[in-house]
Amino acid sequence: MKKLILTLVFLFVLGAFFVPTSAKSEFFTPVCLTVNGEYVKSANHAYLKNETTMVALRDLGEIFASDISWNEKTSTATVKTPTVTIAVAKNKNYATVNGKSQKLDSSAVIANDRVYVPLRFLAENLGAKVSWDSSTICANLTSAKASVPTHLKGKAPYTEDELYWLSKIVSAESAGEINSGKVAVANVILNRVESDDFPDSIYGVIFDQKYGVQFTPTVDGAIYKTPTTESVTAAKRALLGEDVSRDCLYFLNPKTATNSWIVKNRKFYRTIGNHDFYL
């Protein structure tokens, strides 16, 4: 099985694709996390909430070798190191650091039995510097006090190049589609990477011409336009394992399609937005 899809299957086994319950009603953006250059693998993905990166408090606490406790009565999580004690309560827009109150950019929330807090607030109070890589939607922490424990170590689920090209084809093919339709288009590309009938890379699949041009944006130039933010988010969600198209390898807009080969030769699966998807 091909390398990229093996990575996705590996992430599925770990339960890595996670939709925080607080974000289910919105099209949330998962965020990758690195600490001192090491990728943090977790079943509890950090995610963007109103432009604030939210992270599972326990994950970061373990990275900084903290004592972590939970008070059921007050719904408060506490992280303690030799020099700092941080207490965060559910749904509160403030926290206490060594007994002093600090305002949070976003209230702490609980999802899948984990407390999520603003990453920058927690990281900086634990002694880390935070930088942001918008090209890969990844937060990078550096600190001499931090060390990623073995069970949280892993490889990044995708490269910058994979996200770059997948975002471009999603945007070119489905910029006006509903968000699930964008994810479905990304799924088709990734399914082709897995299939033995298509090239082994996202770039190769997009520009494949073995049986003729596969995607018209590669001909009309739309593939080279800057992708929409929603398309980048959809590509990332697909790369992290979200699948709404099952094993589909083809899609088309029945109102604009000029070639009926797919309809005559492939099994129809479902319609999402303006696109029909075929196995």
Given 3-state DSSP classes, what are the helix, strand and coil percentages for the chain, each rounded to the nearest 5?
A: 30, 25, 40
Q: What is the pLDDT of residues 151-196, one digit of tens each?
A: 898 887 788 899 999 999 999 999 889 999 999 999 999 999 999 9
Q: Does domain 160-278 have CATH number 1.20.120.80?
A: no
The full set of domain ranges for the chain reads 17-152, 160-278
Q: What is the pLDDT of residues 67-82, one digit of tens each?
A: 999 999 999 999 999 9
Lowest mean pLDDT among 15-24, 116-125, 178-187: 15-24
* 8 Å CB contact between 90 and 179: no
The predicted pLDDT at position 32 comes to 86
**How many Cα atoms occupy the beta-carbon half-sphere of 259 within 13 Å?**
12
The predicted pLDDT at position 67 comes to 93
Alpha-carbon gap, residue 7 to 1, rounded angstroms: 10
Alpha-carbon gap, residue 54 to 116, rounded angstroms: 6
The predicted pLDDT at position 240 comes to 80
Alpha-carbon gap, residue 101 to 185, rounded angstroms: 46
The pair of three-digit structure tokens given for residue 88, joined into one six-digit string: 């965060």
Bridge partners, 132 (sequence order): 139
CB atoms within 10 A of CB 260: 10
The pair of three-digit structure tokens given for residue 100, joined into one six-digit string: 């002093």
Block residue for tokens 């207490």: 87
Which CATH class for the 17-152 domain? alpha beta
* 8 Å CB contact between 51 and 229: no
State the pTM of this model. 0.66
Residue closest to 198 by CA, chosen among 211, 216, 187:
211
Backbone CA torsion sign across 207, 208, 213, 216: negative
Residue closest to 107 by CA, chosen among 98, 95, 125, 99:
95
Given a cut of 70, whether residue 5 has pLDDT beyond it is no
